[in-house]
Amino acid sequence: MELKRFFSNSKIENNGFVVLENEEHNHLKNVLRFKIKDKVIVVCNDNFDYVCEIEEINKNNSVLKVIEKQENKHNPKINVSVFQALVKNDNMNLIVQKLTELGVTKLIPFESTFSTSKIKEAKTDKWQKISNQSLKQCKRSLCMQVENPVKFSNILPMLKNYDCIIFANECEKTTSIKNINEKANNIALIVGSEGGFSEEEIKQLLNYDAISVTLGNRILRAETASIALTSVTMYKFGEW
Amino acid sequence: MELKRFFSNSKIENNGFVVLENEEHNHLKNVLRFKIKDKVIVVCNDNFDYVCEIEEINKNNSVLKVIEKQENKHNPKINVSVFQALVKNDNMNLIVQKLTELGVTKLIPFESTFSTSKIKEAKTDKWQKISNQSLKQCKRSLCMQVENPVKFSNILPMLKNYDCIIFANECEKTTSIKNINEKANNIALIVGSEGGFSEEEIKQLLNYDAISVTLGNRILRAETASIALTSVTMYKFGEW
């Protein structure tokens, strides 16, 4: 029987104990009804799975003692950041969940000309929580970092940190991801909302060496484009 | 301004008229509030977009006259069928919508040892409707055919119709889609539910020349596996 996984925001303490609070404590105590001495795995955004034994189950927290530290084998080997134009919250939730499973390192939501949602509607804390839940399910131990949303113009200077920058462009007819060199360590994917990017935005992305690619002949919903482009990127750059 | 798209279950009549009923009529009349003489596009599961002018808007149907027949440019060029183990209905709805957008030709749901939903819970008619809605959004004109669900054992004889059969296998460590020959016309993808396939099922699939592939190091939810594998297949076999 595989051990259940829990996520902790704080690192393992020097004495080898970890404390679960809030949702994770509630999940352990009231949903899965674990008892003292039961074993679980705790991950805390480093490269390890910590096999723990439950020492205390209190009203507001549980205390767990680390009994074994194992290297996690489910973290992504390549570094992919997704710059995602804000879309309606239901779709954003789906994107956050799926991109975590697929192995994205960082998600940077942004507001563009055609965004179907605005920065002030963003739920960054909730998205991070959804991602941390998804992380347990897919067994990675390193978080997908969900950044606070920014304006389109603010993503441009960030792009210089990447050696391969790809954006999904409905108007692109010729260039496919197949045309891109397979050697890259830091990959940025840029996905618009329904309606894609404005002409001015496309011009600016090209100026920053972003490569415009087609995702095929059909018009994909924003969340489909994001999940499909991420899947193909993981495949192409060696995660599959 | 792009013309709105409608779907008709019946072919264009010889006299060049088409009748919309039920949801499509309601959508035209009460949601989008079209008027007589307005122009729309009708698709009816052939290779064309029919530009139509609205002639009548009645209580229970609308009558449209075809004024131009254009070749549809958004249909898939390759033939991909997805054999999908039944999962909970919300996830099945998502799979149906996304696979339509991605260009799948046929979806065959099946009940396997670890299916999280049973044949008797299947909503084939509803799934076909969801797919036909998605078809309008992604602009294809040929339907993704949603078949009635079958038992796992019944999918095996169907596999002989395909020249490339791929199944997503959580236990697969070495073979990736990269190892598969790119020349194939009829491709079958087989995706399990959470928990994948039983040992016996895997043995049978291999006996039918299905190729077991990894989708990377993380454990994907069933619907994520389905969408991700379809995306990569479309990319690999030339749709992107």
β-partners of residue B70 are B49
Shared domain for B105 and B27, answered yes or no, is: no
Shared domain for B111 and B56, answered yes or no, is: no
Shared domain for B91 and B135, answered yes or no, is: yes
Nearest CA in chain B to A239: B216
Tokens of A105: 């390192």
Q: Model confidence at B15, in pLDDT bands (50, 70, 90)?
A: confident
Please determine, for residue B1, whether its predicted confidence score (pLDDT) is greater than 80.
Answer: no
Residue type, B154: N
List the single residue in A74, A216, A235 with the smallest CB-CB distance to B218: A74
Shared domain for A9 and A125, answered yes or no, is: no
**Mutation site, B224, B227, B233, B239, interface A, largest A CB count within 10 A:** B224
Shared domain for A124 and A229, answered yes or no, is: yes
Q: How far is A18 from chain B (nearest CA, A)?
A: 25
Whether residue A218 and residue B102 make contact (CB cut-off 8 A), yes or no, is yes
pLDDT value at position A18?
96
Q: Does B4 touch chain A (CB under 8 A)?
A: no
**CB–CB contacts below 8 A, A to B:** 116
pLDDT value at position A195?
81
Residue type, B20: L
CA distances in angstroms from A52 to A10, A17, A49, A69, B184, listed in the order given? 15, 9, 9, 9, 49
Shared domain for A183 and A104, answered yes or no, is: yes
Shared domain for A105 and A62, answered yes or no, is: no
pLDDT digits (tens, 9 = 90+) for B44-102: 999 999 999 999 999 999 999 999 999 999 999 999 999 999 999 999 999 999 999 99
Q: Does B47 touch chain A (CB under 8 A)?
A: no
Shared domain for B120 and B222, answered yes or no, is: yes
pLDDT value at position A131?
98
Please determine, for residue B229, whether its predicted confidence score (pLDDT) is greater than 90.
Answer: yes
pLDDT value at position B127?
98
Give the pLDDT of chain A (240 residues) as one tens digit per residue: 789 999 999 888 888 999 999 999 999 999 999 999 999 999 999 999 999 999 999 999 999 999 999 999 999 999 999 999 999 999 999 999 999 999 999 999 999 999 989 999 999 999 999 999 999 999 999 999 999 999 999 999 999 999 999 999 988 989 999 999 888 989 999 999 988 899 999 999 999 999 999 999 999 999 999 999 999 999 999 899
pLDDT digits (tens, 9 = 90+) for A172-219: 989 999 999 888 989 999 999 988 899 999 999 999 999 999 999 999
Range B180-197 average pLDDT: 91
Shared domain for A160 and A130, answered yes or no, is: yes
Please determine, for residue B121, whether its predicted confidence score (pLDDT) is greater than 80.
Answer: yes
d(CA A137, CA A60): 24
d(CA A187, CA B227): 21
Whether residue A217 and residue B231 make contact (CB cut-off 8 A), yes or no, is no
Q: Model confidence at B181, in pLDDT bands (50, 70, 90)?
A: confident
**Direct distance between the N- and C-terminal alpha carbons of chain A, in angstroms, rounded to an integer:** 26
Shared domain for B12 and B101, answered yes or no, is: no
Count: domains in chain B: 2
The range of the structural domain enclosing residue A17 comes to: 5-71
Nearest alpha-carbon partner for A209 in A232, A187, A191: A187
Task: State the CATH number of the domain containing residue A53.
Answer: 2.40.240.20
Nearest alpha-carbon partner for B237 in B96, B138, B141, B103: B103
* Dihedral of the alpha carbons of B103, B99, A181, B182, in degrees to the nearest 10: -60
For tokens 């909970």, name the residue: B88
**Direct distance between the N- and C-terminal alpha carbons of chain B, in angstroms, rounded to an integer:** 26
Find all residues with CB under 8 Å of B33, minimum gap 6, and list them: none
pLDDT value at position A56?
97
Shared domain for A88 and A204, answered yes or no, is: yes
Shared domain for B130 and B211, answered yes or no, is: yes
Please determine, for residue B162, whether its predicted confidence score (pLDDT) is greater than 90.
Answer: yes
Q: Model confidence at B185, in pLDDT bands (50, 70, 90)?
A: confident
Task: State the CATH number of the domain containing residue A192.
Answer: 3.40.1280.10
pLDDT value at position A194?
86
Instruction: Indicate left, alpha or beta for B55 from its phi (over 0: left) and psi (-120 to 50: alpha).
Output: alpha
Q: Are strands A164-168 and A145-146 parallel, antiparallel or unpaired?
A: unpaired
